[in-house]
Amino acid sequence: MSESSPSFILYEMAAPHVARITLNRPAQANSQDTRVLYQLNEAFDRAAHDEDVKVIILAANGKHFSAGHDLLEKDYAKNMSEFRTVFPVCGFGCGGGAGQMAREEEIYLGFSERWRNIPKPTIAAVQGKCIAGGLMLVWPCDIIIASEDATFSDMTVTIGVGGVEFFQHVWELGARKAKEMLYTSDEFTAQQAQDWGMVNQVVPRDGLAQAALDMATKIARKPAFALKLAKKAINGSVDAQGREIAMQNAFHLHQLAHTHNLKMFDQLIDPSGLPPAMPKGTKVGGA
């Protein structure tokens, strides 16, 4: 990361053996541009490589956990140049669909998969809105604790795409609820998410941080190697059901949506679905 780049991620030891990583872009509802995601990946790497850390909490400052991808981000290439790429891709300077796919495979699908497989328990503490790309931050976590005011949604179908790049919907909600979520773009509540098995606990807003810390502290008392084995066994059981192949298939369909939208609308999305609050004339990708 460039020394001149602002820091959007906070890192601290919240308790013995517990690292807390906090999204810190509240003025933008913790929306994710390239810099946010690379800084977040660096923080996860730091916790993963620190032998004193046994449990990782992911939290967020401000009213909302995350509004998803920052659709107003400009100059991807410049922001990318501040970081070393993690995966062996063609490079983000390459043109056309290859460059776009490489970028999304790195910072969306790739990072989310990487965080899912960190060999330490991870806990997401979610408040307010968690929209689309925000789901790609919480779904890789092993445990999700949500405040009573938390809501979850994926409105990508509204903007001409079939779902976020880390297409975990079916594995989190089941096929029918996943279809409802995507077809309607409706928000669902923390209590609904718990009823459907996506959220572990729902707590009052003012007790969210403590609930996450209590859970992390309890887990941190267990042997680190046994925790690693338990996580690997459970993730492996899910993957044995075909999750990885399904995720790759969905990611490729996501890229097809971008290609279609570029041809039809000269940008990566269908602009008719952008929320009214977006600046008039907003263009996402394209020439």
Q: What's the pTM?
A: 0.92
- What does the pLDDT look like over 46-101, one tens digit per residue? 999 999 999 999 999 999 999 999 988 877 666 666 766 666 555 555 666 777 78
Every domain of the chain and the residues it spans: 9-273
- What does the pLDDT look like over 155-210, one tens digit per residue? 999 999 999 999 999 999 999 999 999 999 999 999 999 999 999 999 999 999 99
In the predicted structure, residue 3 carries a pLDDT above the cut 70: no
CATH 3.90.226.10 fits 9-273, yes or no: yes
pLDDT score at 84: 65
Residues near 46 by Cβ (< 8 Å), separated by ≥ 6?
11, 19
Q: Select from 73, 100, 102, 76 the least CA-distant residue to 87.
A: 102
User: Which is more confident, 35 or 199?
Assistant: 199
pLDDT score at 279: 79
pLDDT score at 285: 75
With a pLDDT cut of 70, the percent of the chain lying above it is: 90
Where do we find the tokens 């497989």? 117
The single-letter code of the amino acid at 115 is: W
Helices (H) and strands (E) in the chain, counts: 11, 9
Q: Select from 27, 120, 42, 100 the least CA-distant residue to 269.
A: 100
- Please give the average per-residue pLDDT across 124-131, as a whole number: 99
pLDDT score at 2: 47
- Please give the average per-residue pLDDT across 265-275, as a whole number: 91
Give the pLDDT band (50/70/90) at residue 214. very high
The single-letter code of the amino acid at 229 is: L
pLDDT score at 286: 58
